[in-house]
Chains A and B, each alone.
Chain A
Amino acid sequence: MNCQKFETVAGELARGRMMMAELREEALAHSNDCARCSSRLRDEEMLSRGLRSLGSQTSSLEAPPSIEADLLNAFRQAKVVVPIVPVRETRRYWVAAIAALLLVVFGLLAARTQFQGKPAPFEAVKNSAVPKNQTATVDNPQAIIADNSGSAPVAVKREVVHQPKVTPRRNRNISPDQLQARASSNRNKKDVESNHASNEVATEFMPLGYMNAAALQDGGQIVRVELPRTTLASFGLPVNMDRYNEKVKADVLLGLDGMAHAIRFVQEKRLQ
Chain B
Amino acid sequence: MKLKTDPTDAELLRAMLSGDEGSFVELYRRRNGGVYRFALQMCGSPQLAEDVTQDVFLFLMKDGQVFDPARGSLSSFLLGVARNYVLRKFRGEHSTVPLGDDEDEQPFDQILDEPGPLDDLTRAETIENVRRAVLSLPERYREVVVLCELQELSYGETAEVLGCAIGTVRSRLHRARALLLTKLRPTEEAEVANAGSVESARCFA
Contacts and interface: CB of A to CB of B under 8 A. Distances in A.
For the residues of A in contact with B, the DSSP-based class is helix
A63 B50 contact: yes
Contacts of B134: 51, 54
B83 interface: no
A21 interface: no
B87 interface: no
Contact of A71 (B57, B126, B185): B57
Interface in B1-57: 14, 17-19, 21, 24-25, 28-29, 32-33, 35-37, 40-41, 49-50, 53-54, 57
Interface stretch (B72-80, B95-103, B149-157, B191-199): B149-157
A209 interface: no
A118 B152 CA distance: 79
Contact of B112 (A11, A46, A51, A53): A46
B166 interface: no
Interface string A49-68: 11111110111111110011
Nearest to B32: A63
Given A44-B181, A78-B61, A7 B112 contact: no
B32 A67 contact: yes
B122 A84 contact: no
Contact of A58 (B40, B111, B174): B40
Contacts of A49: 117-118, 121
Interface in B103-132: 108, 111-112, 117-118, 121-122, 126-127, 129-131
A81 interface: yes
Contacts, number: 119
Contact of B40 (A43, A61, A70, A86): A61
B134 to A, nearest CB: 7
Contacts of B50: 63-64, 67
Contact of B37 (A48, A61, A75, A86): A61
For the residues of B in contact with A, the DSSP-based class is helix
Given A61-B40, A72-B25, A81 B58 contact: no
A46 B50 CA distance: 31
A47 interface: yes
Leading 3 A-B pairs by shortest Cβ distance = A55-B150, A50-B130, A63-B36
A79 B17 CA distance: 9
Contacts of B118: 49
B37 A82 contact: no
8 contacts: A11-B173, A11-B177, A46-B121, A50-B127, A64-B50, A74-B58, A75-B24, A79-B19
Interface in A21-45: 42-44
Given A44-B177, A47-B180, A71-B28, A58 B150 contact: yes
B6 to A, nearest CB: 19
Contacts of B49: 63
Given A53-B122, A71-B28, A61 B36 contact: yes
B181 to A, nearest CB: 5
B138 interface: no
Contact of B181 (A47, A60, A68): A47
